[in-house]
Amino acid sequence: MEMNLGEEIMAFARRSKNLFPPVAKDCTYRLLANKMTWILIGILLLPCLFGIILYNEFSEDREYEMQGDDKIYLFPDSEDNLVPLHKDLRETFVEQSDLFNISFVAIILAILFSSELINEEYTQKTMQLLRTTPIHSFEILLYRYIAGVLCMFGILGIYSILFYLTTMMGSGQYGIIENLDVLLLILKVLLFESIAFMGIFSVFTIYFNRPFLIGIIYWIIWESIVSGQNYQKITITHYLNSMLFDSTKEMGWDVVASDYNLVNSKDDIIATEPLTSMLIIIIITLIMLFLGTRGIANRQF
Amino acid sequence: MSIRLEQVTKNYGNVQGISNISLEMEPGITGILGPNGAGKSTTMKIILGLSRPSRGIVRVNGNDPFTDWKLKRKFGFVPEYDCFYEHMSGLDYVSYFLRMHDVDKEKAEKMAREALSELGLDDSMERKINTYSKGMRQKTKVARATVFDPEILIMDEPFQGADPTTRGLLMKKLTEWAEKGKTILISSHILHDVQSLTDNIMLINNGKMLAYGDRHEIRKLMDNIPRPISIRPLKKGNIRNLAKRMLDEKWTKATTIDEENNELTVETDQSEEVYMELPRILQNEKVSVERIYSEDDSLDSLYEKLVEGAQWK
């Protein structure tokens, strides 16, 4: 009996309760059992370790003042004026997250995870078996994609919380609580980054035989070189930077568009509104999922 | 369930996978035979919808298996190669694919246990697949493909790596499934296995279908290839006279005497005629025989004749 689109969607939603849990369990196991994941987690822990070492070195030099019940730590700036330490540390947290976590580790994780979750299914030939089961190609991709996004965001999110704590602990309890919005901003950017790059790299793993290499080339040429140029609006990095720029400006930070490379060659600001940025990232992801579904459905064995 | 291939050709770039294959499969077992690279797996993948023909039409119950993903619930596939999630146990692996058939967790586990147990994997189903022997892997593949009771079973070399007990068990199961009305397509390079399961065969070589149908019927079509018919008289002395008498008949191409086994082999291209005339000749010559037989329509013989490039009508 033919079903209309509404019934198809309902059937799909109902089926997902059965289909998603085993896929998610298997994918999570595969990602966490992968040695490369642990190497990257090890690399991620280095800045946290560095933060702890730094804290031990400068914590005794701090001064503080009491504002009501709050103990605010102070630190001398370059002109020897005492300034609240948490303002300096939160900037370090955002800068380092942007440089290391967002621009480097997240991309490598996305390439690694999409390769493990989808390319491995082709290598191990389990994709052939999946294609002989009554599930739509979209379901084959979507559940793996969601599992990948959750794992990627989980790892990067936990890392960000740890990094935030180890960076901000110098500013005491007040500094940690006062700047939670900064942590939330980084988590939001990481979530959208996971959503976008898992989608893009999943498509690479479906269409190319050497997805890892293609992913690295894409990252270097597209997201690193083009993202600082006039045509940066065709990159994901532009929209992530726009989200960072707008939010830090909203928080009253002293930032300019060029800090996030959001200017063209004439020095005009070309930042995109954060809501528009999020929407564009979601639309790009949906397009990627559509292309990926087509790729799986049309791949022959 | 019916499977229909009409003039199906599959090319991989400049390499031809299969060429102009037409067949119609009905419930029961069909054996697909051919040397390595003949196009057996390609034919199977086209039926399964894993590959799309370059030319021609494939229909399973009237639908295109490449585009109709819902049709896949009717397929059970045992591939020739290993395709496991090695970190899973046999039980998890079979349950996992049952979940893909929208079976809930508890039911999937129960069904998987039963299927694996039936194939003799009671003690090892909770062990990781990467510790399995070849035979255990084969059984796990069969359990995965059959646990949801599919209407069509496509099995590529299912006896590969199976010990005699497993082979016997699988053959018994295949016969049971065929009796239940399932459509089973099975490839094997062990011709004896196929021969003991079915007479319905498809012979394929270099991507071309050489013959399809009942193997006895196929042999009958090959009349221009002399067929040996062996006669074993009761008394030893009769054999030479009988050979001489046989050479008088127009349908005898040659005779061979095997003194040691007291056996005369007559080569003929009109075997039907021989079987009609032989009783009369033996009666006239007053020769009593112990046995008349021809092993020429055995699958081995048929396979050898067709695949070695011999012609048939």
- Rounded CA-CA distance B266/B224 in Å is 15
A74 located within any domain: no
Q: Looking at the predicted structure, is the pLDDT value of residue B218 above 80?
A: no
Q: Do the strands B15-25 and B28-33 form a parallel or antiparallel pair, or are they unpaired?
A: unpaired
B2-31 pLDDT tens trace: 899 999 999 988 888 999 999 999 899 999
Q: How far is CA B50 from the centre of its chain?
A: 21
Which residues, at least 6 apart from B37, have a Cβ–Cβ distance to it below 8 Å?
A: none
Strand order in the sheet with B152-156: B55-60, B3-12, B15-25, B208-214, B200-205, B28-33, B183-187, B152-156, B75-78
- CB B13: neighbour CB atoms within 10 A? 5
Domain ranges of chain B: 3-218, 221-307
Strand order in the sheet with A82-84: A63-67, A70-76, A82-84
> B264 pairs with which residues across the strands?
B231, B257
The total domain count for chain A is: 1
Q: Is the dihedral of CA A145, A150, A153, A156 positive or negative?
A: negative
Between B215 and A37, the more confident residue is: A37
- In percent, the amount of chain B with pLDDT more than 90 equals 47
- Rounded CA-CA distance A95/A87 in Å is 12
Domain spanning B221-307 has what CATH number?
3.30.70.100
Q: Looking at the predicted structure, is the pLDDT value of residue B190 above 80?
A: no
- Rounded CA-CA distance A98/B244 in Å is 99
The angle at the Cα of A207, spanning B63 to A151, to the nearest 5 degrees, equals 100
> B31 pairs with which residues across the strands?
B186, B201
Token pair belonging to A98? 């942007």
A75 located within any domain: no
Domain B3-218 has CATH 3.40.140.10: no
Smallest Cα distance from B39 to chain A, Å: 13
A73 located within any domain: no
Q: Do the strands B28-33 and B252-258 form a parallel or antiparallel pair, or are they unpaired?
A: unpaired
pLDDT of residue B224: 63
- Rounded CA-CA distance B310/B307 in Å is 7
Smallest Cα distance from B127 to chain A, Å: 16
- Rounded CA-CA distance B226/B219 in Å is 11
* Closest to B165 (Cα-Cα) out of B145, B139, B132, B133: B139
Q: Which helix (H) or strand (E) holds B253?
A: strand B252-258
From the list A29, A132, A297, the residue facing B87 with the nearest CB is: A29
Residues in chain B: 313
From the list A124, A132, A300, the residue facing B75 with the nearest CB is: A132
* Least confident range of A62-66, A220-224, B182-186: A62-66
- Rounded CA-CA distance A235/A226 in Å is 7
- Rounded CA-CA distance A28/A5 in Å is 31
Q: Which helix (H) or strand (E) holds B230?
A: strand B227-233
> B268 pairs with which residues across the strands?
B227, B252
DSSP string, A76-119: E-TTS-EEEHHHHHHHHHHHHIIIIIIIIIHHHHHHHHHIIIII
A76 located within any domain: no
Which CA distances in Å does A267 have to A229, A237, A248, A255, A273? Answer: 11, 18, 20, 15, 18
Give the DSSP letter of residue B83.
Answer: -
With contacts defined as CB-CB under 8 Å, which chain B residues touch A128?
50, 77, 79, 83
Give the position of tokens 């002109």. A79
Yes or no: say if A149 and A80 are a contact pair by the CB < 8 Å rule: no
Q: Looking at the predicted structure, is the pLDDT value of residue A155 above 90?
A: yes
Yes or no: say if A263 and A270 are a contact pair by the CB < 8 Å rule: yes
Yes or no: say if A141 and A292 are a contact pair by the CB < 8 Å rule: yes
Confidence of residue B300 (pLDDT cuts 50, 70, 90): low
Token pair belonging to A111? 């390439």
A67 located within any domain: no
A48 located within any domain: yes
pLDDT of residue B241: 84
A99 located within any domain: yes
* Closest to A54 (Cα-Cα) out of A14, A1, A24, A96: A96
Yes or no: say if A139 and A69 are a contact pair by the CB < 8 Å rule: no
With contacts defined as CB-CB under 8 Å, which chain B residues touch A116?
none
A82-126 pLDDT tens trace: 888 888 899 999 988 988 888 889 999 999 999 999 999 999 999
- ipTM over 0.90 threshold: no
Q: Which amino acid is at A162?
A: L
Give the ranges where chain A is alpha helix by DSSP (H).
5-33, 35-58, 85-96, 106-114, 120-123, 126-130, 137-168, 172-178, 180-207, 211-218, 236-250, 274-298
Phi/psi for B10 (5° steps) reads -130, 120
Interface probe with A: pick from B100, B156, B185, most Cβ of A within 10 Å? B100
- State the residue range of the domain holding A226: 5-59+85-298
Q: Looking at the predicted structure, is the pLDDT value of residue B90 above 90?
A: yes
B132-143 pLDDT tens trace: 998 899 999 999
* Residue B232 touches partner A, C-beta closer than 8 Å: no
Q: Helix (H) and strand (E) counts for chain B? A: 10, 13
The angle at the Cα of B169, spanning B164 to B170, to the nearest 5 degrees, equals 100
Give the ranges where chain B is alpha helix by DSSP (H).
40-48, 90-100, 105-118, 134-146, 164-179, 191-197, 215-220, 238-247, 271-284, 299-307
With contacts defined as CB-CB under 8 Å, which chain B residues touch A136?
69
From the list A33, A135, A300, the residue facing B87 with the nearest CB is: A33
- Reduced to 3 states (helix: H, G, I; strand: E, B; else coil), residue A204 is helix
Smallest Cα distance from B108 to chain A, Å: 10
Q: How far is CA B283 from the centre of its chain?
A: 40
Which CA distances in Å does B83 have to A29, A214, B112, B126? Answer: 18, 26, 17, 18
- Rounded CA-CA distance A182/A178 in Å is 9
Which residues, at least 6 apart from A148, have a Cβ–Cβ distance to it below 8 Å?
A: A27, A31, A110, A113, A114, A117, A198, A202
Residue B99 and residue A18: Cβ atoms within 8 Å? yes
- Rounded CA-CA distance B222/B301 in Å is 12
Residues in chain A: 301
From the list B81, B100, B105, the residue facing A135 with the nearest CB is: B100
pLDDT of residue A6: 84
Side-chain-side CA neighbours of residue B191 (13 Å): 16
pTM of the model: 0.84
Confidence of residue B313 (pLDDT cuts 50, 70, 90): very low
Residue A18 and residue B104: Cβ atoms within 8 Å? yes
* Closest to B264 (Cα-Cα) out of B284, B244, B249: B244
Residue B100 and residue A30: Cβ atoms within 8 Å? no
* Residue A132 touches partner B, C-beta closer than 8 Å: yes
Between B136 and A76, the more confident residue is: B136
Q: Looking at the predicted structure, is the pLDDT value of residue B271 above 80?
A: no
From the list B70, B96, B105, the residue facing A134 with the nearest CB is: B70
